[in-house]
Copies of this chain bind each other. A is one copy, B any other.
Amino acid sequence: MKYTLMVNEGPYQHQSADTAYQFAKAALAKGHEIFRVFFYHDGVNNGSRLSVPPKDDRLVQKQWSELAQQHGIDMVICIAAAQRRGLMDANEAKRQGLDADNIAPGFRISGLGQLIEGSIESDRTIVFGD
């Protein structure tokens, strides 16, 4: 089966991002395909590379980066939600006249159309949120 996952909450505050990650791992282990993970609302904060939690805790953002790189998953951060919350890649930061960016490896910023397209292309769409 081909899946699109939607993640609507940021790391740590809610379990949603952890649940989506655990679901993705379990689906991949069974041979399914994760076509796309779309990060919306505060979910965009999963894509920050500046996070440094205590050493005995998981690093949610890095787990996503590693999963994407190991399995070639397309991880898309919604541009409109990201702009509100201050999640920027180098291009966007430049375009907005900002002096820094904070996106983590394996994520890309794009539009909401990627969510709809993912849901059309996939057999299943699963929403993880608050």
Contacts and interface: CB of A to CB of B under 8 A. Distances in A.
A42 interface: yes
Contact residues of A: prevailing secondary structure: loop
Nearest to A43: B13
Given A42-B42, A50-B93, A93-B50, A11 B84 contact: yes
A51 interface: yes
Interface string A44-73: 010011111110010001000000000000
Q: Which of A12, A48, A49, A101: most chain B CB closer than 10 A?
A: A48
| Copies of this chain held together in the complex | 2
A48 B100 CA distance: 11
23 contacts: A10-B42, A10-B85, A11-B84, A11-B85, A13-B42, A45-B86, A48-B85, A49-B98, A50-B87, A50-B88, A50-B98, A50-B100, A50-B101, A51-B84, A52-B83, A52-B84, A52-B86, A54-B83, A54-B84, A57-B84, A100-B101, A100-B102, A102-B102
